[in-house]
Structures are given as C-alpha cells and as structure tokens.
Amino acid sequence: MARPVTNEDRQRVRELHAAGKGRNEIATELERSGRTISAIAKDLGISFARAGEVRAATEIRQADLADRRARFATTLQDIAEREAAKINARYTYFDWGGKDHEFDTYEAPEPTPADKRALMATVATAVDRSLKLVPPTDGDGSGEVGSLLTSLFDRLRERHGDH
C-alpha cells in the first residue's frame, strides 16, 4: 500500500524545490514517485516548469558549440594551408638506418610524388572537415574557394603525375 504524504514530506519538497532541485531529484531523495512529488508541488502552489530556462540554456549551449566548431574549422584551414605550402617546398627526410641504427636527415628539393599525394590528401581532408564543421553559406565566395582548391589539386596532379 502507498505510503501517505506527511507534512514533513511537504516541507522537504518545499525546501528542496527552493534549493533548485528538480522533481526527479526530489523524488529520488525522498524515495517517492515523480507523480507523488508533482502532486505535492501542485498542492503547495509550486511548479517544476522550467521550459524557458531549459530552452535558454540549450540555446546558449548550441551557440557555444557553434563557436567552438567555427574556431576548430579555422584551425583545420590553417593546417590545410600549412600542408599545402609543403607540396613544392624543400622537404626534410628523416631516417634511422644502418647496422648501428643511426639517425640521419637529408633535404630534398621537394617531396617525392608519393609524399605530395599524402600532403594533398591531408589538405583535402582538413578542408573537407572544416567545411563540414562550418558549411559555407550563399554569397560568401566559398564556391570560388572550392573551385580554386580543385584547380590547384588538378594542376599539381598534372605537373607531378598521379603515381
């Protein structure tokens, strides 16, 4: 049989509600059902309706996440630009070798075709991911940027072959 609601229960619901606890938290603490807590709250003239607060908090969280995505998209674009600059630049190779496992470096006038392909893949991935995080909007010139990158990659493939 259900346990009757006491004045002590009512007082605890009032106190916990004033402390900012939600209905389910109060129900857990008082070992009562949510329905019982709602009935007590209704009798006391208090409400757990926080839809406005929840909506505002959700909007703030969404705005924060959008800002974080935009900042990370910028980081990815920076990575793409840095790696793209390496495609035709001097390239340092590192090597462990020989019977004594000696470390050595040497500079090449530019990366090998395989390394250029790897750099282009890194650039393409970084740009693609940044565009997924912050999709372009109409009128921002992003179509021109996309065609510029496509043109750049096509010229690089033509110049260095697709080995």
Could you read off the pLDDT of 128-162 as tens digits, one per residue? Answer: 999 999 888 765 555 555 566 666 667 667 766 65
Continuous segment of H or E residues that includes residue 108:
strand 102-108
Residue that is written with structure tokens 């080995």 in the block: 163
Continuous segment of H or E residues that includes residue 41:
helix 34-44
Residues 113/77/58/55 CA torsion (nearest 10 deg)? -120
pLDDT at 143: 52
Q: In whole angstroms, what is the distance from residue 108 CA to residue 89 CA? A: 9
Q: Is the pTM of this model over 0.75?
A: no
- In the predicted model, residues of the chain with pLDDT beneath 50 are none
